[in-house]
Amino acid sequence: MPLAGTASLYTTIDSPIGELLLLGDAGALHGLHMQQGRRPAAIPPRCRREPGAFAAAIEQLRQYFAARRTSFDVPLALSGTPFQLRVWHALQDIGYGETLSYGEIARRVGRPSAARAVGMANGCNPIAVIVPCHRVIGADGTLTGYGGGLERKRLLLELEGRAPTAQLSLA
């Protein structure tokens, strides 16, 4: 999985969805990766472990997993193509406990016929949970395509009180 090239610090934490790798610098979070998903992230060669640099993000994640936080306000440093950035910013507009389809995100970023491209951008999201790609579902309500695995996606949606209305899709 591609990682932010400017991240110089990292730490890991345990969570209800498994180990999370946080990457960033003194100013912002560059990456948040589920290490037990399909594509665990490698720690960049010159990164140094520094848990204190991520204190705010760690505290907000703990509050989120304890159902005491519905939004995040840690500084993020997203790096991607202009289209990916539009998609990732649109993801941040999906409210806690809400879901949208890939097609609806495509409409919101001004590319109504680009649902598949939205899915690809969603799959490249470098900051899981905080940039809530888990809130994007198939047009028919199925849970599809999640780098951390569909069971983790279901767990996150259930945590937010948004139990899926349809079965998991393995597509």
Compute the distance between CA of residue 14 and CA of residue 21 in angstroms, rounded to an integer: 9
The angle formed by the CA atoms of residues 24, 87 and 145, to the nearest 5 degrees, is 90
Q: Is-contact 31 24, C-beta < 8 A?
A: yes
**Which domains are delineated in the chain?**
9-65 (3.30.160.70), 82-159 (1.10.10.10)
Q: Which two tokens stand for residue 108?
A: 């919101």
Dump pLDDT digits (tens) for 66-108.
999 999 999 999 999 999 999 999 999 999 999 999 999 999 9
> Does the reported pTM lie above 0.85?
yes
3-state secondary structure of 10: strand
Dump pLDDT digits (tens) for 1-48.
434 446 799 999 999 999 999 999 988 999 999 998 667 888 988 899
Q: Which are the catalytic amino acids?
A: 133
Packing angle of the helix pair 115-123, 82-92 (nearest 10 deg): 80
Band of the pLDDT at 168, cuts 50, 70, 90? very low
pLDDT of residue 111: 96
Residue of 65, 51, 62 lying closest to 22 (CA atoms): 51
Q: Name residue 134's amino acid.
A: H
